[in-house]
Amino acid sequence: MTLDDELYDDVTTLLANHCAVDPARVGPTTQLFDELGLDSLDLIGMAQALQSKYSVALDNEGIAEIRTVGDVVAFVRRRMSDRVAGAGAGESTVLER
């Protein structure tokens, strides 16, 4: 399983568990707000769960970029890559708990 597959599965599970979304309705291009009816509080809850698992922060700029499930996966992947790059520059980091 690739990192993107794992992230996608985690996002789908979060949507199912925390936002009462049927996983069968979710695909990479599924619109979080328009198709699934999520609101900003749902997105914040999802962001907190992803932060807990992957140690990435979803800031206001990041939230503004996210429209689809695929956007969430891409955002988390970018943040994880940034952390790894920072660790290579001498910063310590934790990717997973």
Whether residue 96 is predicted with pLDDT greater than 60 in this model: the reply is no
Whether 93 is covered by a domain: the verdict is no
**pLDDT reported for residue 97:** 42
Domain holding 7, by residue range, is 3-88
Whether 12 is covered by a domain: the verdict is yes
pLDDT in tens, 67-80: 999 998 898 888 88
Whether 51 is covered by a domain: the verdict is yes
Whether residue 90 is predicted with pLDDT greater than 70 in this model: the reply is no
Tell me if residue 68 falls in helix, strand or coil.
strand
pLDDT in tens, 13-68: 888 887 788 888 889 999 999 998 998 888 888 888 888 888 888 777 777 889 99
Which CA distances in Å does 4 have to 17, 38, 67, 78, 92? 20, 22, 17, 11, 23
Handedness of CA 57, 61, 64, 70 (dihedral sign): negative
Whether 28 is covered by a domain: the verdict is yes
Which domain CATH number covers 47?
Answer: 1.10.1200.10
